[in-house]
Chain A
Amino acid sequence: MTDPVAVAPGGAPAAAADRAGSRQWRMVLGRLARQPVTLCCLLYLAVVGLAAVAPGWLAPHDPWEVDLPNRLAGPGGEHWLGTDELGRDQFSRLVFGAQVAIRASFQSVTLALLVGIPVGLFIGYLGGWWDRVTMRLIDIVAAIPTLLFAFAIIALLGRGLTNAMLAISMVFAINFARITRGGVLVEREQPYVDAGRVLGLSRRRMMFGQILPNVAAPLVVQASIFLGIALLFEAMLSFLGLGVQTGQVSWGQMLDDARVFSAEQPLLPVFPGVAITLTVLMFNLLGDGLRDALGRQGSAGPPWGRDGRGSRTRWWRRGAGRSGEPAGPSEPDDDGDQAGRAQAEPADQRVGAWTTGGVRSLLEVRDLRVAFPAGSQGLMTVVDGVSFDIGDGEIFGLVGESGCGKTQTSLAIAGLVPVPGQISGGTVRLAGRELTGLSDREMETVRGPDVGMIFQDPLAALSPVHPVRRQLTEPLRRHLGLSRAAAADRAAELLDLVGVPDARRRLDDYPFQFSGGMAQRVVIATALACEPKLLIADEPTTALDVTIQSQVLDVLLDLRDRFEMSIMMITHDLGVVADVCDRVAVMYAGQIVETAPVEQLFTTPRHPYTADLLRATPHPDQPGDRLPSIPGTVPSPDSWPAGCRFQPRCSYAVEACGEQAVPLVDGIRCLRHQDVADMLSAGVYR
């Protein structure tokens, strides 16, 4: 195999691969250790636990030792927390009460886990009649009050704390079953479950080995909270005289006793009350801490990555200028910082040679930087000194693989860098107006009339709960001040313009009633509502089928011709670039590595990355045995190599490439571009 991913020779550390569990636990414990509140909870619960296991060690007195002369004494002296109506030591009784409290809550929660989780797994995974019948039974049981249950069980099985706690155990089991089932229903649709089924794993292994670890986190959290509730329930039962038998101490029973004598010794109910409240609170806080520590690794993702586009789905709300949105992007750094950065790489300021060439520039981006806070290391730059111009009526392509910073560049231009990211330097000038540094409110007047945006997933860009009429007319009424009727007329015109058949009738349809291609047309129509000068299209056709893709691109081309609109086309697809773009910038690892008119880029690519990308793109007319590929992967922003960032994957790299940052000169960021051009023109591929 010539696949160039690093293939280390065998003999890798033969450490136990079964340590997934232990490694995960170490990670979870590490995160727990960084939560001071949770540590305090654990410490407190450890003490309560110790009291429960060995109350004799902690209690200074016998909890049943009657000392009538000292009855109802206040705290202090020999009895730290005073004595009760029979002169028994309160502190010792609290310590012994912990035993009952902890045992009762652990018993009930353990029993509930043992019953509830298998039931939930079983009905969730098998579904069908098992699920339907069991869920209805569960609904019926859940409708009976818990206390009534407790009475019934006591009537059947006799008095006693364990019997009474069976009632709450049943309630917990139902809850665990429901939570488990809900989790299983989500996980069951995951491809890894299908893959396990295709491997023929047994049902038991699918449920307990594959799915359970993925639904366990909320169960652990819930178990911790249920421990607190069980403790409360035990206290309540004991308070009502249904719990512990004589000869045992319970916090609830102490409260009940204290009730009678609280007039004589007002402090009497305080201590058992505090013990109950504090312990329940600690179980709940522990649950919260566990929730944070158990979050599924990798699902959160870095804020600049694919997952970090949460704010994009809400752009329509921002664009529509609704109040109550979270704060927008942070203000850029002060001017001094920008100046400092500009001086650091003066070569990037030589932009003349690759500007729009005579045509007036609509958009001028200079040395744009976007950074995200990265823990203790300060800022992590994801867009690193990007400069380009877009002319009037020009379609400008920004190409690169995922993680190259092209989306963050576009979001920065629109003032939509997701929090906590920020524009850390550079300028964005639209028709002469500086956009960086504008407040969120000012940017709202820019998005819409000046800049329109369309995104990859049309359905995420439209509000699912409003008909498209509202989403189309709101910007018209807000920015252009049209009346309701006029706005509706204009909205219908817009839909017609982007090729939605029967436009007027479809105004009252909801987004889900549109197919993917039609929904993208609606998004384009909303973006066009105020006839923006610049349309930013971020992977507008990636989620669409090929036939629909070419139609949507047709719409964009027609609109450009009709409105003289400039379009910034962000894509990873060189076919889209070839189809619609006039000029192209290729991005790699946060930087532009090459800009060129589209024909030149495809016929004589100058940067090795561009050339490699072109060769790696499969061509439907050229069946080849092997598809050329680029070794390795795009580095993430925290591991950009020194010097030229493509150099570790570049087949033309020499030692000098890794030594210092390579400037962008005349639209090319490569030390060896002359040599590369010679070799490429001679047909020599490395």
Chain B
Amino acid sequence: MNGVALANQGPAPLLRVDRLHVDYEVGRAIGGWPPGRRRTRVAVRDVSFEIASGETFGLVGESGSGKSTTGRAILRLVTPAAGAIAFDGREITTLGKNTPMWYRRAVQVVFQDPLASLNPRHLVGNIVEQAVGQRSDAPGRAGRRRRARELLDQVGLAGRHAERFPYELSGGQQQRVAIARALAVDPRLIICDEAVSALDVSTQGQIVNLLGDLQRELGLSLLFISHDLAVVRHLSHRVGVLRLGELVESGPADQVYNEPRHPYTRSLLDSVLVPDPVAQRERRLARRTRAVPRLDDLEEEHD
């Protein structure tokens, strides 16, 4: 059940998430004592996994499974209720209120909605320059601009794009800007939270390939969070499956996809629609005749 059990041998992992537990406040209780007591809902419970240097870990799950919350806890955007997160051997859940810059530079993020993740009042060039300014060896104004251009070039954008506002770019180009911003501080881990889910099919491939290329060139680790099992399969070395806040299965991608051990993983895989009418018809038949747990009940339960 637990990712740690399958931890890869070799050097110490870059990121180790150990029995992570995150609650969400859903409101305050009316009545009762003391009044205004916090009512919470468990978003993530007992999630453990590791990401090695240069590895892509795919985290799949349906809405409400806690996959984004896990990413936000690693980014220190939410505070875990319990559990440990160690980055490069250093514990980061005990850092207190302010996050040290070394960690901010080490871990970066690419969000789902490319337009909303770029400040609408800033030019693309400014957005990347600002990120360059957060480096420990931040160059001067001219150096920042030069470095920003290099980064935009690295993600496949031209210099003229620096002079545009985010809304003037296409979705794929916006996501490239978000990637350039993340790369600006030379991170070691990038958390891709549904980073290609909002893109068209033809553009999705471009961004997936870009992420793969960057990972190989720069030796990055990626935490690739997505509900799309097919895309996760393409990028990930190892995969974890979340359901209702719990990691039900994790392991090498081939193993999880070919020999799923948990029935939930199997039903997820069975539900994926393959772009092949003949194969899909067989899958549909197989899925509908097999006695799978009624997912309606599960769904009602967590909503």
Measured CB to CB, the residues of A under 8 A from B are 1-8, 10-15, 17-20, 23-24, 190-192, 194-201, 209-210, 213-214, 296-299, 401-402, 499, 501, 515-518, 545-551, 554, 572-579, 581, 598-599, 602, 612-614, 616-621, 623-630, 633-634
> Which bucket holds chain B's interface residue count?
35 or more
Contacts of B160 in A (CB 8 A): 8, 12-13
Provide the bound-state CA to CA distance between A598 and B281, in Å: 12
B104 contacts the other chain (Cβ, under 8 Å)?
A: yes
With beta carbons under 8 angstroms apart, the residue of B123, B185, B230 that contacts A20 is B123
Task: Note all chain B residues with C-beta closer than 8 A to A214.
Answer: 119-121
CB distance from A135 to the nearest CB of B (A): 16
In Å, the complex CA distance between A517 and B302 comes to 12
User: CB-CB contacts of B146-159 with A at 8 A, as 1s and 0s?
Assistant: 00110001001111
Question: When chains A and B are docked, how far (Å) is the Cα of A276 from the Cα of B199?
Answer: 55
Tell whether B269 is near chain A: CB-to-CB under 8 Å: yes
Q: Considering the chains assembled together, what is the distance between the CA atoms of A213 and B101 in angstroms? A: 25
B116 touches A517 (CB 8 A): no
User: What would 14 A/B residue contacts be, using CB atoms closer than 8 Å?
Assistant: A18-B126, A194-B117, A195-B109, A195-B181, A198-B109, A200-B105, A298-B167, A299-B120, A548-B62, A575-B275, A578-B274, A578-B275, A625-B212, A633-B173
Inter-subunit contact B117/A620 (CB<8 Å): no
Give the residues from 114 to 167 in chain B that come closer than 8 angstroms, CB to CB, to chain A.
115-123, 125-126, 129-131, 134, 145, 148-149, 153, 156-160, 162-163, 165-167
Q: Which residues of B contact A599 (CB under 8 A)?
A: 277-278
Selected interface stretch from B12-20, B44-52, B82-90, B203-211? B203-211
Tell me which residues across on chain B come within 8 A of A19, comparing CB atoms.
123
A194 touches B111 (CB 8 A): yes
Indicate whether B259 reaches chain A with its CB closer than 8 angstroms.
no
**Residue pair B158, A12 in contact (C-beta under 8 Å):** yes
Say yes or no for B41: interface residue by CB 8 A criterion.
no
For chain B residues 247-303, which have a beta carbon within 8 Å of chain A?
A: 253-254, 257, 267-280, 284, 287-288, 295-296, 299-300, 303
Evaluate whether A5 and B157 lie within 8 angstroms (CB atoms) in the complex, with A198-B109, A620-B257 already known. yes
Pair A7/B156 contact, Cβ less than 8 Å: yes
Shortest beta-carbon distance, B36 to chain A, in Å?
Answer: 11
Q: Are B205 and A616 in contact (CB under 8 A)?
A: yes
B153 in complex: contacting residue of A7, A402, A598, A633, CB < 8 Å: A7
Answer whether residue B108 sits at the interface, using C-beta atoms and an 8 A cutoff.
yes
In angstroms, Cα B136 to Cα A199, docked, is: 12
Contact assessment for B168 and A17 in the assembled complex, using a CB-CB cutoff below 8 Å? no
Nearest-CB residue, chain B, relative to A544? B63
Contacting residues, chain B, for A10 (C-beta < 8 A): 149, 153, 159
Chain B residues within 8 Å of A, Cβ to Cβ: 62-63, 72, 75, 77, 99, 101, 104-105, 107-109, 111-113, 115-123, 125-126, 129-131, 134, 145, 148-149, 153, 156-160, 162-163, 165-168, 170-173, 176, 178, 181, 185, 200-206, 208-210, 212-213, 227-231, 233-234, 253-254, 257, 267-280, 284, 287-288, 295-296, 299-300, 303
Task: Point out the residues of chain A lying under 8 angstroms from B267, CB to CB.
Answer: 547
B-side contacts of A194, CB under 8 Å: 72, 75, 77, 109, 111, 117
- Neighbour of B284 across the interface among A579, A617, A620, CB < 8 A: A579
Given A12-B160, A579-B273; A629-B206 close (CB under 8 Å): yes
Q: Do A516 and B257 form a contact, CB below 8 Å, given A547-B271, A619-B274?
A: no
Q: Are B202 and A616 in contact (CB under 8 A)?
A: yes
Q: How far is the CA of A250 from the CA of B42 in the complex (A)?
A: 64
Verify A613–B202 contact, CB threshold 8 A: yes
A81 to chain B, nearest CB (A): 46
Contacts of A616 in B (CB 8 A): 201-202, 204-205
A518 touches B299 (CB 8 A): yes
User: Is there an interface contact between A618 and B202, defined as CB atoms closer than 8 Å?
Assistant: no
Q: Closest CB of chain B to A625's CB: distance in Å? A: 7
B82, chain A: closest CB distance, angstroms: 22
- Alpha-carbon separation in the docked complex, A572 to B203 (Å): 13
Q: Would you give the shortest CB distance from B260 to chain A, in whole angstroms? A: 12
Neighbour of B62 across the interface among A13, A545, A621, CB < 8 A: A545
With both beta carbons as reference points, the residue of chain B lying nearest to A209 in the complex is identified as B130
Contacting pair B75 A620 (CB below 8 A): no
Q: Which residues of A contact B280 (CB under 8 A)?
A: 575, 578-579
Report the separation of the CA atoms of residues A214 and B295 in the bound assembly, to the nearest whole angstrom: 42
Question: Which residues of chain A have C-beta atoms less than 8 A from B178's C-beta?
Answer: 195
Other than the given A547-B267, A629-B205, 13 more pairs (CB < 8 A) read A1-B209, A12-B163, A194-B109, A213-B121, A299-B120, A401-B201, A516-B63, A572-B201, A613-B201, A623-B254, A626-B205, A627-B234, A633-B171
Q: How far is the CB of B103 from chain A (nearest CB, A)?
A: 8
Q: Which residues of B contact A299 (CB under 8 A)?
A: 120, 167
CA–CA, A15 and B296, complex, Å: 57
**Bound complex: CA of A190 vs CA of B228, how far in Å?**
23
Smallest CB separation, B184 vs chain A (Å): 8
Cα of A628 to Cα of B270 in the assembled complex, Å: 24
In the complex formed, the residue of A with least CB distance to B170 is A633
Chain A residues positioned under 8 Å from B168 (CB to CB): 298
**Smallest CB-CB separation from B160: which chain A residue?**
A12
Instruction: Give the 6 A-B CB pairs with smallest separation, nearest first.
Output: A12-B159, A298-B167, A575-B273, A629-B205, A17-B125, A200-B104
Q: Is the CB of A210 within 8 A of B119?
A: yes
Taking a contact as CB atoms under 8 Å apart, the answer to whether A578 and B126 are in contact is no
Cβ contact within 8 Å between A192 and B271: no
B300 and A518: CB pair below 8 A? yes
Q: Is the CB of B101 within 8 A of A5?
A: no
CA distance A575 to B271 in the complex (A): 11
**A573/B273 contact (C-beta < 8 A), A200-B99, A633-B172 known:** yes
Contact A15 B295 (CB under 8 A): no
